[in-house]
Amino acid sequence: MKIVLQRVSSASVTIEDKVVADIQKGLLILVGIEDTDGQEDIDWLVGKITKIRVFDDENHVMNLSVQDIDGDIIVVSQFTLHANTKKGNRPSYIKAAKPDVSIPLYENFVKKLDIELGKKIQTGVFGADMKVSLLNDGPVTIIIDSKNRE
């Protein structure tokens, strides 16, 4: 699994002119799932996301986690994170998992975040044409790949 984690002052997801997710201070997480991903990838990423210190403490040092600040999270599925751009000008998405694999993993990922944070995680709609708005705070944007955890 590959994620793009962004520290935001606010973020929202709109589908067909209807806001389906809306947060203030917290994290916007774009998640891409590939065929080889499983529960171990979910467990590792959720542990990393809930503890990563990307929010400022009283000394303006990134020393606090989303849990520490009681921040919110929006998770948006994004298969394009697995784009292969080595050949030609049209990206290949061959590594991205098909919906029969990716939907259950995506749902388990969101559920595990819900449980770990003890609050409802907001989401986009899997496979929908979404408009994602955010006010990136910092900016702080971090790419994390569960296959590069060693």
CB atoms near residue 107 (< 10 Å): 13
**Annotation says 67 is catalytic:** no
**Annotation says 79 is catalytic:** yes
Catalytic residue from among 24, 36, 39, 80: 80
Catalytic residue from among 6, 55, 78, 123: 78
Catalytic residue from among 79, 109, 122, 123: 79
Amino acid at 116: E
**d(C-alpha 28, C-alpha 48), whole Å:** 14
Tokens representing 124?
């986009």
CB atoms near residue 78 (< 10 Å): 20
**Annotation says 141 is catalytic:** no
Ramachandran area for residue 93 (φ above 0: left; ψ -120 to 50: alpha; else beta): alpha
Catalytic residues: 78-80
